[in-house]
Chain A
Amino acid sequence: MRHFAVELEELNQALLEMGALVESSIHCSVQALVDRDERMARRVIEDERRINQMELDVDARVTRLLALNQPVARDLRLLIMALKINTDLERMGDLAVNVAERAISLSKVPPVKPLIDTPRMASLVEDMLHRSLDAFVKRDATLAAQVLPADDEVDSLRDKIYSELLEVMQLNPVVVPSAIHLMFVARNLERIADHTTNIAEDVIFLVRGVDVRHHATENKV
């Protein structure tokens, strides 16, 4: 039993490590965009392989834990959440790579406009990711619920970026390709935020599920 607890803790650590790498990829991809730094963007692209490997490792770990320990109730739900969070993190890594690729393309052409809202969006999203993983590790539904309102803020920043870029394009069609890259960057950041929302919702569901089960098993205990 203690062994299982140790393995769960290791799983937590593996997910946190993966989360830290994904968080840094998001940060660096947008930093590379702002600083027109191709080398930094390339590093994000290289790190994707590590993230993919981590995803496979976490999946294998969870499948092994399911098979060997045959957990029930809370522990079972936890493992299923770990599988889902793993998928979300890997997708976020993919999206950061997409931002990095666009940063490389954009570093080769003149800048379209100063980037103020995009890094603001990125730091919001990084914060959401950080807090949703924190909520998962602490099994804290309140903390998880606090992640959700930020999603609206991310959405409205994206809308603002969109309409600005649309205007820029219509005034000057030469910048269309660059402006579309920037639109997709905003879109990708918004999707990263959606993935952090998935994680937060999973945590809330997890904790609520446990509550229900506690009531259900009260008589037996």
Chain B
Amino acid sequence: MQSGAKIMRHFEQELEELKGKLLEMSALVEAAVQRSVAAVAQKDRSAADQVFRDEARINALEMEIDEFAINLLATQQPLAADLRLVVAALKINTDLERMGDLSVTIAERAISLLSEPVIKPMVDIRHMSALVESMVRKSLDAFVANDADMARSVLASDDAVDSLRTASYHELISYMEKDPQNIPQALDLIGITRSLERIADHSTNIAEDVLFLVKGIDVRHHAEARQ
């Protein structure tokens, strides 16, 4: 009995450690998203440089989390809700790493925009990025707090991001048609909105994983109650 309790406590500790690592990763990714956008909107080169520096840490953490989760599965053989949690952690880990990559893409485009005079005010990019940043934050908070309502609110924002992106896309096309000199810069801006949209998609993936996780737990509770 006592050793059973000990094993349980050990497992709980490891789950907490896994969550802790994911939180560290998500804090880094959230900061990378913010910095990459600041690099674009405020022409802030040092913000872009920080994004490049943090990428190595994000990549290393991704591998660390994968290894940790796999070892946890192997040594603890979790079931039901705990198993779902570890599987969700693996998926969220992949999404976070891709979000980090996308921040790097945005930061690279920010660098190429540094030397050019702006063809248009960055109002819509600021709007879009504020929305995307809040999706990133909410999806991760929802994961930590097991909060299905918050996860659902992330899904609702995804359509708003898509329509902001479409609007800015059409506007940028008209800039290009007006003056071919605008083309390279407009292409960078289109690329940035596309990356932001994809970051939003990854947040949506995370929110969906949280919903699955919470629903799975609900189902399991019902099954236990029946027994």
Contact = CB atoms under 8 A, between A and B. Distances in A.
Given A76-B73, A80-B70, A169 B180 contact: yes
B91 A77 contact: no
Interface residues of B, number: 24
A83 B90 contact: yes
B90 A80 contact: yes
B180 A170 contact: yes
A203 B83 CA distance: 23
Interface string B67-87: 001100110010110011001
Nearest to A84: B94
Given A66-B73, A67-B80, A180-B190, A173 B94 contact: no
Contacts of B70: 76-77, 80
A111 interface: no
Interface residues of A, number: 23
A180 B83 contact: no
Contacts, number: 54
Contacts of A76: 70, 73-74
Interface string B175-193: 0111110011001001000
A66 B87 CA distance: 10
Contact of A72 (B74, B179, B187): B74
B91 A83 contact: yes
A53 interface: no
Contacts of B80: 67
Contacts of B176: 169, 173, 176
Interface in A69-100: 70, 72-73, 76-77, 80, 83-84, 87
Main secondary structure of the interface of A (DSSP, over half): helix
Nearest to A174: B177
B105 to A, nearest CB: 11
Contact of B74 (A62, A73, A170): A73
Contact of A67 (B79, B183, B190): B79
A80 B90 CA distance: 9
Given A170-B180, A170-B183, A63 B73 contact: no
B184 A176 contact: no
Interface string A147-172: 00000000000000000001001110
Contacts of B130: none
B74 A180 contact: no
A171 B73 CA distance: 58
A54 B51 CA distance: 36
Contact of A87 (B94, B178, B187): B94
Interface of B: 66, 69-70, 73-74, 77, 79-80, 83-84, 87, 90-91, 94, 173, 176-180, 183-184, 187, 190
19 contacts: A63-B87, A66-B87, A67-B80, A76-B73, A83-B87, A83-B91, A87-B91, A166-B184, A166-B187, A169-B176, A169-B180, A170-B180, A173-B176, A173-B178, A174-B177, A176-B177, A180-B173, A180-B190, A183-B187
Given A73-B74, A76-B74, 8 more contacts: A62-B87, A83-B87, A87-B91, A166-B184, A169-B176, A169-B183, A173-B177, A176-B183
